Structure 1
Amino acid sequence: MAQASSRIMLSCKHLWKVFGPRPAYYFDTAGYRIDPEALAARLRGEGHIPAVVDASFDVKQGEIFVIMGLSGSGKSTLVRCLSRLLDIEYGTMEFDGQDLARISGRDLIEIRRRKMGMVFQSFGLMPHLTALENVAFPLKLQGVARSEREARAREMLELVELGSRLDALPSQLSGGQQQRVGIARSLAPDPDLWFLDEPFSALDPLIHRQMQDEFLRLQNQLKKTIVFITHDIMEACRLADRIALMRGGRIIQLGTPAEILLSPVDDYVADFTAEVALSRAIRVRDLARPAQGEPPEGPPVPAAAPIEVVLPALAAGQRRFRVEGDGGLELEAGAVLEVLQRDARHGFRADGASA
């Protein structure tokens, strides 16, 4: 997985999105000074729905930032606010030196067309256009010449391994292929910020996994800044650099997959993650430490791989593993065994399957 930079691409502070008869009334200077929980309770008590409650977070350049939660948690509403498909009631969203919440009209249209890509679970392909024409369509809106936009569309379809289906209509493509076309279309303008709202949830489980693999392959090549929405904790752990876990409109924990799995902030998060086999979700780099003395023997293990990759060697007696990369890191057997013990307490075998 690509390493995110320290540069902040998107910075969000105290975001609120409220549905109801008069939400703006509550966000004058004096009104917002009360505690967010008290304000949310007051809004609910007066017939409003606070869908996003005081959300603050940063997204780093090149990072896969996953927003997750159950249905009704506010995750999809939040991503629609970030892309300005919905307007917020309060807060700031700084992107590329501009406050997205204050931009309107043509400036907003240009940002959406040129700097943002969006993929949703409903593929949104135009049924009368071929794969090539669908992918080229956002460039057509930008006024790009036909030869140039079709060349870019071919490049994007090759990237998602659909170069042989340029002339196919959506009805002639499988669900997974349609989603690949949607991904190619969102990438055609070369966006700085890429939003994906449960893009694989409508697919069969096998295709779902294949699309995750495809997504990670693309990210390793393109190193995009990504906000990814999901309700699937295993998907979040597999894809994310960091996770924002939502409940009732609030972000209740923000951290790496390992931080959330190993140090849940409350019983809700602990219950939410209890069904996750850590041997499949915790990555080698999460447990790696600076090497001590002579480097361990044997081939290095990939830093981004789940720790289950070392289990055969661990069973054969190896106690230290060199971690791939230039950081001089190693993985010790003791750290892996602690995770396996936690899995065993939750009913998982060493291979990550349920006991």
Structure 2
Amino acid sequence: MAAISIRNVDVVFGNHVEQSLALLDKGSSRQEIIDATGDVVGVHNACIEVQPGEICVLMGLSGSGKSSLLRAVNGLNTVSRGEILVQDGDQMVDIASCDAKTLQHMRTRRISMVFQNFALMPWMTVIDNVAFGLEMQGMSKPKRRAKAMQQLEMVSLTEWKDKYPHELSGGMQQRVGLARAFAMDSDILLMDEPFSALDPLIRNQLQDELIELQQRLNKTILFVSHDLDEALKLGTHIAIMESAKIIQHDKPEDIVLNPKTPYVADFVAHTNPLNVLCGRSLMTDVSELDTRDDMPDDMRVLNPHDNTLISVNAEGAVVAASRQDQPLNLHRWIDGQDIEDLAEGLLVMAAADVSMRLAIEIKYKTGLPVLLTESDKLVGVLLDKDFYHALLGKHFTVGSD
């Protein structure tokens, strides 16, 4: 069961919704509808599912519809047509059509929200801001303050519990907002560009903290961003929006490798693929490695210029390597190992899903290609051309729907 199921959702702002929907069905553009009715199409025919425990990032330029869709998930924006089903125990509640009592239950028990502008009450202390939602649930003051302290400890703000929002930096205020949302114990968290108002250093730090918190708490998060690097860093899946429509919904790696439209490709062209791609995505397959007539059948050429060779046994495992007829030492990379342990001339074997950022560090330290394996079997190699293709943006081609 999906945590959030968005089905054919339209959101139209204005006084002539039915007329505007009819124009949408006829293929009219957003501008044509504005000219005809004065209504603004915020979301058009959105269809995605968000699974429990994942971070789905809605991203696009300003006005693309990402915040309009996010705010429809907790009823802040009215759904003009379609369904937004949100998991509540063993059942799914349609936010688009539920009554006021059910909507209040979903907002106070199932869905929490973190805003871009922090939305803290300036007359309340930090701890009372964190406990505010619990107060709305009817929790007693001692219990809610105890729970709020737990959340403040989680975001390293216990020493600031009696301060007021104006006494905190922007990053600290956003931590308070996170603590307040997590204090609610809601399984679903909506985050509307929560870090965009912060400077890059603090934003990056809070992104790291959110990833760490998510690993511990396993929430379902719908996150709005206009920054693809942020989306690639945080997202389990990314839904890219343009002109109120979702034009691609994929895993981050697929967004980078297989953009479906020129619009998505333009986003990808300006991001760093090393933040998301793994070795398997860019490797030269073992079947593509050169052989020579003057070599045994088990030998493969990694670099003909310096005669770097490897020997592969019948099971597909690398058993020996040499460069300029001198033996090379093989080294199996273990997760968590210090990169400084590597030395020039060491031929490293790493798992095929090794991050490209780590693979480049290995290449830099050793000066040699990186061998990629699965269950000790060689499946591919990261050669110089593979690294260059990633860095130069040659790793994708634009597909079609």
TM-score normalised by L of structure 2: 0.76
- 1:117 alignment partner AA: S
- Larger Rg, first or second structure (1 or 2): 2
CA distance in 1, matches of 2:130, 2:377: 43
1:133-282 matches, cutoff 5 A: 133-282=128-277
Distance 1:214 1:222, change over 3 A: same
Confirm or deny that 1:54 pairs with 2:49: no
SS at match of 2:382: helix
CA distance in 2, matches of 1:197, 1:304: 31
Structure-2 residue corresponding to 1:10: 4
Q: Deviations over 1:41-97 (max 9, x none)?
A: 763441321110110000000000000000111111111111110111000111121
Structure-2 residue corresponding to 1:319: 370
Q: For residue 302 of structure 1, report the CA deviation from its aligned partner.
A: 9.0
Structure-1 residue corresponding to 2:33: 43
CA distance in 2, matches of 1:143, 1:168: 24
Q: For residue 290 of structure 1, report the CA deviation from its aligned partner.
A: 12
- Is the CA contact 2:370–2:383 (under 8 Å) kept in the aligned structure 1? no
Structure-2 residue corresponding to 1:340: 388
SS at match of 1:182: helix
- Is the CA contact 1:288–1:330 (under 8 Å) kept in the aligned structure 2? no
Structure-2 residue corresponding to 1:89: 80
Give the RMSD, CA atoms, in angstroms. 2.9
Structure 1: any 5+ residue segments left out of the alignment?
A: 1-6, 347-355
Confirm or deny that 1:72 pairs with 2:57: no
Q: For residue 329 of structure 1, report the CA deviation from its aligned partner.
A: 9.6
Q: Which has the higher helix share?
A: 1
- Is the CA contact 1:279–1:339 (under 8 Å) kept in the aligned structure 2? no
- Is the CA contact 1:242–1:256 (under 8 Å) kept in the aligned structure 2? yes
Distance 1:206 1:62, change over 3 A: same
- Is the CA contact 1:278–1:340 (under 8 Å) kept in the aligned structure 2? no
Q: For residue 335 of structure 1, report the CA deviation from its aligned partner.
A: 8.0
Q: For residue 272 of structure 1, report the CA deviation from its aligned partner.
A: 1.8
SS at match of 2:122: coil
Q: Deviations over 1:201-220 (max 9, x none)?
A: 11111111111111111111
- Is the CA contact 1:13–1:56 (under 8 Å) kept in the aligned structure 2? yes
Structure 2: any 5+ residue segments left out of the alignment?
A: 287-314, 319-330, 336-349, 395-401
Q: Percent identity?
A: 35
Tell which has more relative contact order, 1 or 2 (C-alpha 8 A, sep 6+): 1
Q: For residue 322 of structure 1, report the CA deviation from its aligned partner.
A: 5.8
List structure 1 segments (4+ residues) > 6 angstroms apart after TM superposition.
Answer: 287-292, 301-305, 327-331
Deviates more, 1:269-278 or 1:279-288: 279-288
Structure-2 residue corresponding to 1:298: 333
Structure-1 residue corresponding to 2:13: 19
CA distance in 2, matches of 1:205, 1:238: 14
- Is the CA contact 2:316–2:377 (under 8 Å) kept in the aligned structure 1? no
Q: For residue 314 of structure 1, report the CA deviation from its aligned partner.
A: 2.5
- 1:344 alignment partner AA: L
- 1:106 alignment partner AA: K
Confirm or deny that 1:126 pairs with 2:175: no
CA distance in 1, matches of 2:56, 2:166: 32
Deviates more, 1:228-237 or 1:7-16: 7-16
CA distance in 1, matches of 2:143, 2:384: 52
Aligned match for 2:359, one of 306, 310, 326: 310
CA distance in 1, matches of 2:188, 2:379: 34
SS at match of 1:124: coil
Distance 1:177 1:144, change over 3 A: same
CA distance in 1, matches of 2:265, 2:276: 15
- 1:18 alignment partner AA: V
CA distance in 2, matches of 1:285, 1:219: 26
Q: Deviations over 1:300-319 (max 9, x none)?
A: 37998741112132342252
Q: Which has the higher strand share?
A: 2
Q: Report the count of equivalent residues.
A: 333
- 1:143 alignment partner AA: G
CA distance in 1, matches of 2:115, 2:187: 17
